[in-house]
Structure formats: structure tokens, C-alpha cells
């Protein structure tokens, strides 16, 4: 049995390397969710926090991903850092973070992004780009001279893992694959054929 924090520490080391090596969005990750028919879908989100509780991202709770996660918290993340020849797969359950945590992060965002969170009906059909710009202009008037509060339908999720895979490129496609599976308070570690 491995120590409970081993896969997290391993990720932290790799992420520090990725931040040093990758100039743009080293925190970009693919997020997969499933719909009511069991059909998967995947999109990119930015990891905004990470510790031994899991990986945090922010979005609109009424978006396609938000509705998927509300009904089915099972989700998966994937990081690929070409500069490191590394892929990290993470599977588990994504649950909303506490409102206070979402508030704290929202407050750090640029004002334009805060207004954007109100203006965008994320994942809904948009008839015309001008409609979105009109909504934004109206919100700018509404909140002129005062702070923009976090929309109640916008916030974070934390994906806590039960399975992680660290993939490292090796010559001749003889890549390394190491898997951690949650087992009680710790992890089992094993290897997979590439």
C-alpha cells in the first residue's frame, strides 16, 4: 500500500516541471463528462487549484458540463504536456466546491471576466454575437462603480480521484504506465503494458 499522498505529490512535481517548460496554459486539462444516455463528451478547462482533496476548475453550473456533473458526478481529467512527454489521467467524482471558495476565486478574476460570467448563458444557442455584446453592455451599466458579485450559477468543482495514471514517453513506444488505485486510506500502485 502506498502513502495516501503519493500520487498527489507526484502530480505536483510534474506540474511544477510543466509550468517551467510550457509558456501557455500548462494548467489546461481535458474534462470528460457523460450525459443521461451514457454518451461521453470532453472539453478543455483550466485547473485553478490542486491539493490532496483533488483538482479544481470553474465554470457555469447550467452549462452542458454543469448539468452533466449535477446529475452524474463521475468525471475524468487528462493532462498532456508534450514538452515533458507526459500524460496524466485522473478519474473520480467532481463535486461543487463550497460557495466561499467559489466567491474567493471569483473575486480574483478580472472585472471583464466577472461580467462575462453573468453575460454568457454558457452552452445555450446564441442567435447573434451582438446579443452577447448587448448583454455585456447592459451588465456594465448595471454594475458601474460597484463590485461584480459571483453569479449563483457560476462556481467550482473539485474532482477527487480514485484512479490516476502517469504515462511517460519512452523510445520505441515502450512507454511507462503507472497506475494508482484508491484502496481505503491509501493507494495501490501497478503498471500497465504501454
Ligand X SMILES: Cc1cc2nc3c(=O)[nH]c(=O)nc-3n(C[C@H](O)[C@H](O)[C@H](O)COP(=O)(O)O)c2cc1C
Residues 6+ apart with CB under 8 A from 28: 44, 45, 46, 47, 79
Residues 6+ apart with CB under 8 A from 15: 26, 27, 50
Count residues binding ligand X (CB under 6 A): 14
Cell (9 digits) for 183? 484502496
**2 annotated active-site:** no
Segment interacting with ligand X (CB under 6 A) among 14-22, 61-69, 95-103, 184-192: 61-69
Query: Judged by CB under 6 A, does residue 166 bind ligand X?
Result: no
Element (H, E) at 115: helix 111-119
Out of 173, 177, 181, 189, the active site residue is 173
C-beta of 7 vs 66, nearer to ligand X? 66
Query: What x-and-dash track marks residues 32-51 binding ligand X by CB under 6 A?
Result: -----------xxxx-----
For the CB of residue 66, give the shortest distance to ligand X in the complex, in Å: 6
Quick check: helix, strand or coil at residue 96?
Answer: strand
Query: Judged by CB under 6 A, does residue 28 bind ligand X?
Result: yes
**How far is residue 129 CA from its own chain's centroid?**
27
For the CB of residue 77, give the shortest distance to ligand X in the complex, in Å: 12
Amino acid at each position: 500500500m502506498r502513502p495516501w499522498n503519493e500520487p498527489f505529490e507526484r502530480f505536483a512535481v510534474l506540474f511544477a516541471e510543466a509550468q517551467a517548460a510550457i509558456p501557455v496554459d500548462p494548467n489546461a486539462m481535458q474534462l470528460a463528462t457523460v450525459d443521461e444516455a451514457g454518451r461521453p463528451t470532453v472539453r478543455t478547462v483550466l485547473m485553478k487549484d490542486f491539493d490532496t482533496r483533488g483538482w479544481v476548475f470553474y465554470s457555469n453550473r447550467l452549462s452542458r458540463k454543469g448539468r452533466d456533473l449535477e446529475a452524474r458526478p463521475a468525471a475524468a481529467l487528462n493532462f498532456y504536456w508534450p514538452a515533458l512527454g507526459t500524460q496524466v489521467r485522473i478519474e473520480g467524482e467532481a463535486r461543487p466546491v463550497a460557495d466561499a471558495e467559489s466567491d474567493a476565486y471569483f473575486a480574483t478574476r478580472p472585472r471583464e471576466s466577472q461580467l462575462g460570467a453573468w453575460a454568457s448563458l454558457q452552452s445555450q444557442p446564441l442567435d447573434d454575437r451582438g446579443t452577447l455584446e448587448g448583454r455585456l453592455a447592459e451588465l456594465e451599466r448595471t454594475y458601474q462603480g460597484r463590485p461584480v458579485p459571483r453569479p449563483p450559477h457560476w462556481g467550482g468543482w473539485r474532482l477527487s480521484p480514485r484512479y490516476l495514471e502517469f504515462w511517460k514517453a519512452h523510445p520505441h513506444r515502450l512507454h511507462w504506465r503507472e497506475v494508482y488505485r484508491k484502496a481505503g486510506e491509501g493507494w495501490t500502485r501497478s503498471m500497465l503494458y504501454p
